[in-house]
Amino acid sequence: MAKKSDAQNKQADLARAVTPPGKAMTDNLGHPVSDDQNSLRAGPRGPTLLEDFLLREKIHHFDHERIPERVVHARGAAAHGYFELTSSLSKYTHAQVLNEVGVQTPVFVRFSTVAGSRGSADTARDVRGFAVRMYTQQGNWDIVGNNIPVFFIQDAIKFPDLIHSVKPEPHNEIPQAASAHDTFYDFISLTPESMHMLMWVHSDRAIPRSFDSMEGFGVHTFRLINAAGESHFVKFHWKPALGVHSLVWDEAQRIAGKDPDFHRRTMWETIEKGGTLEWELGVQVFTSEQALKWDFDVLDATKLVPEDLVPVERIGKLVLNRNTENYFAETEQVAFMTTNIVPGIDFSDDPLLQGRNFSYLDTQLSRLGSPNWPELPINRPLVQVSNNQRDGHMRHTINPGRVSYFPNTLGGGLPAEVPASRGGFVSYPEQVSGPKLRIRAESFADHYGQARLFWNSMTPIEKEHIAHSLQFELSKVETRDIRVRMLDHLENINEVLASQVALALGEPPRSKQTAEPGGAGSADSAAEAALLASATSPTTASGKLQRALALSQEEGQPKSAKGRKVAILAADGVNAAQVKAVQAALEAKGATGEVVGNHLGDLGDGVTATKTLGNTDAVLFNAVLVAGGAKSVQTLMRRGDAFAFLGEAFKHAKPIGALGEGIEVLTASEVGRLLKAGMPSATDKGTDKSGDAVGTLSQVGSAALASGPAAAQLAEQGVIVGSNGGTDAAIQKFVAALAHHRYWNRPQVAHVPV
């Protein structure tokens, strides 16, 4: 059956505001301009005249081009697409957008960091905003969420304090887009409710690889109301089609310098090339009776509902397939609001949500300068707007007639109220009562139980990365008392974690079990990971769970090479057939192979370098492969940058490939030395398929596709080599390795000098 499409398309709606360049230049009021290069002067070298209205208008507009950036979520990027419902929720809600299977509802989605300014880098360790607007037949519906399902605070009255603490310190405006400083941890160390969120922020979730490799969450508990007026609680989830994948901390920092636009560039280029970014919408639906049985409060935004208790039902897909026409007009002027809901959806009594409902409307006037901001093209709904609101700064709508009030008879009683029976919005009639108090509910009081649940649910490498992140950030805190207070909180989560962080800070460990910390930057330590693997804590406020599904991003994720980018190292004289074969194999799986050469342009036989060893970096790619060709390899062997590419990729656990003579570049690198040291030696009687002792990677390469122990050992570490008749099969193995994303089992990673 053909898919139904929404008759009111947002792209067509926005097209009404698109003005292509005209043939004749005019000023803003349509006057033809004869000279846009020179001001009006009294003589060739005389003063500029005050009557130059063209100069005045041009400078006037330029002086006022900027609007205040968002206080939070200032750094953002967005794209258009659609949401298509695949499974109806009519049992729970009468919202059309969640009832009509097959309808493609236009969407606009903005991703952002929280703390940094508009000019900060994409890859800062931070919460990511994940704001989705659906232009539905019942008005705009915004799910204004994050890539983390919980938040730092329980009550909105603390939000200004949180943001003031994490922003650059006011006396010197340092640091930008970073939480590794005293004021943030001073606040956090005095706010125990933040501990669960803090574990997420120090996990790899806070440094996603790309926008479409991170989850999205509505954070709060909302209500679904069905046609019978019955209410169910709901949590909204966006599950990425490619799975959840992240950067490593060293990689994230290096990318910030190499390409601060890394995330927005990746999304833009993917869509420009005809690709898409995709998620599934999932819901956790449960009753208030279920919620009351749990040992945590679903109105507490610092808590999640584990998927073990309420599985996520996947009901639709989100596809982003069109870039913006103008960043300012769309991405910067879009005004999301938590109060943008449609009939059939309502709020819960979550105090953080209640405060956001006030704040989001309030902030639009400050940023956009007029109560008429909903008339901006990116904000206006597809349905007709009709009410008695009038006038105001920069009003666009021309409302005819003499009536601007209700009730009325002079206007025929229009616009008229819409009763609930015909789809008018009605709030759920929840029974509420109680004394007016400034108080926190006792059910909000457990601040460590779900932090322990999150910690227990991590794999060893994820635990190690959390420890390293805490080591790094707390080492930047200059006030010892704050560092010690944070260690006290970490001890309440897990004493071994606290001990590993304490050792890096020069403080006494909190546990008898310790290992030498791997380092707060990039080095993983097998001993530290092994210690942390067995370090678990008893949980509370977790529905009696000690470990929960879907919290680790190393387990149960899709294995796909789609969307990944490979650096193919090459120089003049490269084996063109190999390069083309690699690119074709990658393209067949939705990945890209970009040639990184010793110079831009033609490298021979139709191979074109679009990047150079000097203008790009391994951190900008998901994997590195060295192509063969004797002349090409001779050039690469003289370039330290080629070895640096391999070193960075190896240290960051990415797949590495080498074909034909390209194996010699890998062998000559520091990575090759470490790999050879780990191979079976002649004295160990380790042999390849031919029976010869394995002493070089070239020898391993000739047997890479055989069943020898050396070949298998390399492949287990995500290093794929192939020569002679094994090249084609090696290419296929390399593409398969790319789908695994990371290989954390590499030996002596700390020895790689990157």
What's the first-to-final CA gap in the chain, in angstroms?
55
- Give the DSSP letter of residue 281: E
Distances, alpha carbon 465 to alpha carbons 51, 178, 212, 246, 469, in Å: 64, 17, 22, 11, 6
Task: Reduce the DSSP state of residue 309 to 3 states and report it.
Answer: coil
Exposure on the CB side of residue 412, measured as CA atoms within 13 A:
3
Give the span between the Cα atoms of 383 and 157, in whole angstroms.
Answer: 35
Give the span between the Cα atoms of 74 and 272, in whole angstroms.
Answer: 24
Give the amino acid at 739.
A
- Give DSSP secondary structure letters for 690-703: TS-B--SHHHHHHT
Our separate counts of H helices and E strands in the chain read 23, 18
Q: Are 132 and 216 in contact (CB under 8 A)?
A: yes
Exposure on the CB side of residue 532, measured as CA atoms within 13 A:
29
Exposure on the CB side of residue 358, measured as CA atoms within 13 A:
8
Q: Are 511 and 499 in contact (CB under 8 A)?
A: yes
Give the span between the Cα atoms of 251 and 257, in whole angstroms.
Answer: 10
Give the span between the Cα atoms of 549 and 38, in whole angstroms.
Answer: 66
Give the span between the Cα atoms of 194 and 186, in whole angstroms.
Answer: 12
Give the span between the Cα atoms of 226 and 287, in whole angstroms.
Answer: 13
Give the span between the Cα atoms of 42 and 55, in whole angstroms.
Answer: 14
Q: Which two tokens stand for residue 47?
A: 């003063």
Q: What residues act catalytically? A: 73, 146
Give the span between the Cα atoms of 162 and 421, in whole angstroms.
Answer: 43
- Give DSSP secondary structure letters for 534-560: T------SSTT-SS-TTS-SSSS----
Q: Are 537 and 547 in contact (CB under 8 A)?
A: no
Task: Reduce the DSSP state of residue 624 to 3 states and report it.
Answer: strand
Give the span between the Cα atoms of 526 and 509, in whole angstroms.
Answer: 19
Comparing CA positions, the residue from 727, 722, 734 lying closest to residue 698 is 722
Comparing CA positions, the residue from 715, 717, 682 lying closest to residue 696 is 682
Give the span between the Cα atoms of 279 and 285, in whole angstroms.
Answer: 19
**β-sheet bridge partners, residue 285:** 234
Comparing CA positions, the residue from 489, 612, 625, 493 lying closest to residue 568 is 625
Q: Is 605 left (phi over 0), alpha (psi -120 to 50) or beta?
A: left
Beta-carbon contacts of residue 132 (< 8 Å; ≥ 6 apart) = 83, 107, 108, 109, 142, 143, 144, 145, 216, 238, 318
Task: Note if the bond before 44 is cis, omega within 30 degrees.
Answer: no
Rg over CA atoms, the chain: 29
Give the span between the Cα atoms of 348 and 338, in whole angstroms.
Answer: 12
Q: Is 644 left (phi over 0), alpha (psi -120 to 50) or beta?
A: alpha
Comparing CA positions, the residue from 222, 202, 311 lying closest to residue 543 is 311
Task: Reduce the DSSP state of residue 211 to 3 states and report it.
Answer: helix
Task: Note if the bond before 415 is cis, omega within 30 degrees.
Answer: yes
Give the span between the Cα atoms of 438 and 512, in whole angstroms.
Answer: 43
